[in-house]
Amino acid sequence: MKAVRFHQPGGPLIYEEVPKPTAGRDEVVVRVMACAVNHLDLWIRQGTPSYPISLPHIAGSDVSGVVEEIGPGVDGASLGDKVIIAPGLSCFRCSFCQSGHDNLCKVYRIFGAGCDGGYAEFTKAPAENIILMPGGLSFEEAAAFPLTFLTAWHMLVTRANLRPGQDLLVLAGGSGIGCAAIQIGKLIGARVIVTAGTQQKLNKARRLGADIFINHTDTDFTSVVDVVTHGRGVDVVFEHVGPETFHQGLLALAKTGTLVTCGATTGPIANLDLRLLFTKELSVLGARMGTLAELMEVTRLIERKTLSPVIDSVYPLDQADQAHERMRSRDVFGKLILKP
């Protein structure tokens, strides 16, 4: 089969012939019809201790496709089923998994990071991670939502407990996860304030339902937040950028507000003024993707069209390198999709 691999940290993506995977016990082989590109793919390609991999490596965490082969011991999957792959890999036996916190499993990995992923014509995954594709979606749309919508749901609903009538600030709203956060915030009933780097992205955020728009390229978003909230600040900040925006996000919070974060696109180390935390009684929460149960809930909302995947562009698999360069440029609104 054809796949895209890199052979060394920071090395080029190579479109090449590799062995087709075979299904072992409790595994399913999926013919990949679409695979989304995530910032995670770029980090893994550069090399990071947080995600140890074997080289050469096939990236790609968000996969939609068709069941091609079923291994021994698999129930609930049939040849030809249209499916997505849940991106969180857990043991489903430890105390965390059995209590419904499978994203905190001690052996937790992300598909395409802890194992080969979906930049290929075929891939394999544990049967527990195979989910029937929502009806009425294209394969491209089905690949565009699992990781980002799951993470945004876990951040806003489970961790931050966003409530109707609250003010939500979504940073970098043009990203895939930002698009998801805007929609989830509006579904809950919050007033959504969004930042983005261009007016074009802000116009697209408006179509997703956002209420207030800030171009962070030429405007200090904290000053705008101060004006539109009459000096109060927002209840929840949706943070995934890292040190470039972390401190400003804290400044934008109301008293007893919550900043919830899932990523570090601009770096892993952020300054934290402890005086802000205790004088305003702020909460800073981390979020590690989400649970399988949460993904099932998001999938139902996607199927009902309550939430909608957002696609920027679709690339042939052999143009994965161009897709990575596009993501690095930040000239993206929604998801970039690869098609074998």
Spatial distance between the Cα atoms of 296 and 122, rounded to a whole number of angstroms: 23
- What's the gap between Cα 166 and its chain centre? 23
- In this predicted structure, what is the pLDDT of residue 267? 86
Residue 97 to residues 123, 146, 292, 295, 322: CA-CA distances in angstroms? 24, 19, 10, 15, 38
Beta-carbon-side half-sphere exposure of residue 17 (alpha carbons within 13 Å): 0
User: At CA 145, angle to CA 6 and CA 119, rounded to 5?
Assistant: 20
- What pLDDT, on the 0 to 100 scale, is given for residue 318? 98
Number of residues that this document lists for the chain:
340
42 three-class SS: helix
Domains of the chain: 2-144+309-339 (3.90.180.10), 149-286 (3.90.180.10)
Task: Walk along the chain (340 residues) and give the pLDDT tens digit of each residue.
Answer: 999 999 999 999 999 999 999 999 999 999 999 999 999 999 999 998 888 899 999 999 999 999 999 999 999 899 999 999 999 999 999 999 999 999 999 999 999 998 999 999 999 999 999 999 999 999 999 999 999 999 999 999 999 999 999 999 999 999 999 999 999 999 999 999 999 999 999 999 999 999 999 999 888 999 999 999 999 999 999 999 999 999 999 999 999 999 999 988 888 899 889 999 999 999 999 999 999 999 999 999 999 999 999 999 999 999 999 999 999 998 999 999 999 9
Rounded CA separation 326/161 (Å): 34
pLDDT for 52: 87
Check residue 265 and give its pLDDT.
Answer: 85
DSSP state for residue 288 in the 8-state scheme: -
What pLDDT sits at residue 51?
86
Closest CA to 258 of 284, 226, 221, 231: 284
Residue written as token pair 């965390």 = 96
- Do residues 177 and 240 lie in contact, with contact meaning Cβ atoms separated by under 8 Å? yes
| Residue 169 main-chain phi, psi, to 5 deg | -105, 115
* DSSP conformation letters of 101-140: -GGG-TT-EETTTTS--SSBSEEEEEGGGEEEPPTT--HH
- DSSP letters, 156-189, are IIIIS---TT-EEEESSTTSHHHHHHHHHHHHHT
